[in-house]
Structure formats: C-alpha cells, structure tokens
Amino acid sequence: MKRIGILTSGGDCQGLNAAIRGVAKGLYEHYGKDVEIYGIQDGYRGLIHGEYKLMDRDNFSGILTLGGTILGTSRQPFKMMRQIEDDKVDKVRNMKENYKKMKLDCLVVLGGNGTHKTANLLSEEGLNVVSLPKTIDNDVWGTEMTFGFHSAAEIATNVIDCIHTTATSHGRIFIVEVMGHKVGWLTLQAGIAGGADVILLPEIPYDVNKVVKVLRRRNERGSRFSILAVAEGALSKEEAAMSKKEFKAARASMEFPSISYRLAHELSERLSQEIRVVVPGHFQRGGSPCPYDRVLSTRFGTAAAQLIINKNYGNMVALQNGEIVPVPLKEVAGKLKTVPTDCSLIRSARDIGVSFGD
Ligand code: F6P
C-alpha cells in the first residue's frame, strides 16, 4: 500500500483543486486500490497539529473547475518553522512525527515561495517530498509559469477593461492596484493586456515627476483619460534607495492604506484632473481557473504523480520550454523569479509608449 499526504499552503489561487485532482487521479490510475491519499488540513498547520483525513476517490471528482482549495490553506512563515513560540510546539519535529504517524511514502506540497523553503527543509530532514508551483504572482524560481497566474491576469485585465469605459466617460485618471508585493509579473501582464498607459512595478522604481510628465503629455495630446496599472509593491526611487529599516519606518508612518492611494494623493497635488483608485485585491485570486490554468494544473498534478511512482523525490514539477520537468527543491528554495528589467515584455511595452515611470 502506498500512502501519500497532500497539502496546499500559502495564499490560495485558481487551479489548486485542478492540481490536487491531477495528482490524485494520476496515482489512482497507476495504483488502483493500492494507494491511500491523506488530505492535510490548512497547509503546514495541519501537518504540525496532526489535522488530516483519509480521502477517497470521490473527494477528487467534480473539483476541476472549483476555485480555492478543498484542503484549506494557511500562511506558516518559513522563518518561524524552527522557532519555538509561546505554545511550545516544535513545528519541525511535529511535522516529521505526523508524517511517520500517517506512514507516508511521500508528502505532496502545493505552494509558492515560502512554501518551497519549508518543503526543502522537510526534504533535508529526510522526508520524501514532491511539490507543485502555485501562485498568481508567477514568481517561483525554476518554472516559466505557475498555475493561478493566467486566471488572475484575466481578472485584473477585465478590471482595467471595465475601468477604460468609465475613465473615458469622465475624463479621469484611474490607478488600478494589482496584486504582487515583491514582483510585478501580474501587473505587467494585465497592464499590457488592458492597455494601461503607465505600469509601475517593484522591479523598476518610479519617479513621481516622470509619472506627472507622462500624464500631462497625454492630456496635451488630447487624451481624456489615463490608466495606471500599479503593483501593490511598486516603489518610488527614494524608497528603493532606503535601507530595509528606513523603508519599513517610512511605510508605517504613511497615512494612506496602500501605494495607490499615496500616489493618487501625490498626483492630485500636481494635476487638476480627477483621480480615482481601484483595488480589486483578493478578487484576483477568486473564482474558477481559466482553461490555461486547468490544463497546467492537470499537467503538473499528473507529473507529480509520476515522480512519486518513480520515487523521484525532492523535486518540484516545473514548466520549461513547453515541457514539465523536475527541478530539485534545493535549487528552488529561497529564490525569487523577478521581472528582468530588460526583458522583451518590458521592451515591447516601452515600444508602444507605455511608461514605467523611470
Ligand atoms: O502571494 C499571492 C498574493 O496574492 C500576493 O500577490 C499578495 O501580495 C499576497 O498574496 C496577499 O496575501 P494575503 O492573502 O495573505 O493577504
């Protein structure tokens, strides 16, 4: 009998259930009745506290198009994994003990960056681990694409599309804040797809004077409106020059809830045009996965099942040059796939006149 544990960890995204289904169906097809799959509740939290249950085949049917995760999820910061907190729980020891209690042959982990650091830690601690890269941010190192990204990009693009019509009617400036604290893939994708005039990313610190100049120039040329796609982690040039401590203090003293509102305030002091802010927020992570994500999740899920069948543990499944390949967890852990500032996507946007505020 093969025993496999499966958990989803970190922020949810579209395609998690499709990927869980891919893993389960891939295993059932191969092992038939000779496999038991344990669903671990709320990510690493369930593994730490022993919250899991034996699933059956039916649990994995009818979930291909379902958003969220049937297993639940939670954020368990990697930096706290080896810390003993007030509850006196030794998290790593507990996770290893529960793995043993379930008599697992392999733990399957679906997650983003933080999740992969812990997955690697568990692998280094001797557990058999296989992982799948999920996140709307598409910032997991080693894979060209994560599932969730295209669905979120579709939603964010739709927001920009809708904003276009009202922005035109009223002749306003709109700032659309797109998710992504550390990386700007989603903002870049939705910004280009939605025809934003200005795109601000964490990777390209902006100069507010440049943004003002671009907006004024558009006005002078007769454009009634402007749309800015701004990543929630976009930074000004001054902020980018700060130390981590200075930056934290500066942000903490900000009277505005987010970068978009602060930018709107700064721009309103210099421009006479009306400015509005739209923050779609977690909308971007909700709902059904788009066809691309359903397919990618299924491919990742079945590839993960194959890794388990072949006992090829300690790997994340990844998309590279159109193929699904294993990438060692130790290579993935701790790295972030940011937007290269000279990539062709950025160049192409610049070529059509998009400003990055730099
Ligand atoms: O990692 C995915 C993500 O949606 C980021 O884009 C965003 O910055 C963050 O999660 C939001 O986290 P939370 O759901 O914990 O508010």
Per-residue pLDDT of the chain (358 residues; tens, 9 = 90+): 999 999 999 999 999 999 999 999 999 999 999 999 999 999 999 999 999 999 999 999 999 999 999 999 999 999 999 999 999 999 999 999 999 999 999 999 999 999 999 999 999 999 999 999 999 999 999 999 999 999 999 999 999 999 999 999 999 999 999 999 999 999 999 999 999 999 999 999 999 999 999 999 999 999 999 999 999 999 999 999 999 999 989 888 888 879 999 999 999 999 999 999 999 999 999 999 999 999 999 999 999 999 999 999 999 999 999 999 999 999 999 999 999 999 999 999 999 999 999 9
For ligand 1, atom 6, which residue shows the shortest CA distance?
180
What lies within 8 Å, CB to CB, of 293 at 6+ separation is: 14, 15, 18, 147, 148, 149, 150, 151
Q: How many CB atoms lie within 10 A of CB 103?
A: 11
Q: Is 110 in the pocket of ligand 1 (CB under 6 A)?
A: no
pLDDT of residue 252: 86
Q: Is 298 in the pocket of ligand 1 (CB under 6 A)?
A: no
CA distance 220 to 206: 22
Q: Is 179 in the pocket of ligand 1 (CB under 6 A)?
A: yes
CA distance 109 to 184: 25
pLDDT of residue 96: 98
Q: Is 202 in the pocket of ligand 1 (CB under 6 A)?
A: no
Residue 297 and residue 289 in contact, taking contact as beta carbons nearer than 8 Å: yes
Q: Is 285 in the pocket of ligand 1 (CB under 6 A)?
A: yes
For ligand 1, atom 15, which residue shows the shortest CA distance?
11
For the annotated catalytic residues, the residue numbers are 137
pLDDT of residue 224: 94
pLDDT of residue 256: 83
pLDDT of residue 121: 98
CA distance 148 to 346: 22
Task: Tell which atom from ligand 1 comes closest to the C-alpha of 113.
Answer: 1
CA distance 116 to 334: 8
Q: Is 118 in the pocket of ligand 1 (CB under 6 A)?
A: no
CA distance 173 to 228: 8
pLDDT of residue 215: 98
pLDDT of residue 42: 98
| CA distance to 178, 181, 185, per residue, from 232 (Å) | 6, 5, 12
CA distance 346 to 358: 12
- Encoding tokens for residue 139? 């910032």
> pTM for this structure?
0.97
Helices (H), the chain: 16-31, 44-49, 91-101, 113-124, 149-170, 185-193, 208-220, 237-240, 244-252, 259-268, 291-309, 329-332, 344-351
- Give the distance (Å) from ligand 1 centre to CA of residue 245: 22
Task: Tell which atom from ligand 1 comes closest to the C-alpha of 284.
Answer: 4
- Give the distance (Å) from ligand 1 centre to CA of residue 126: 30
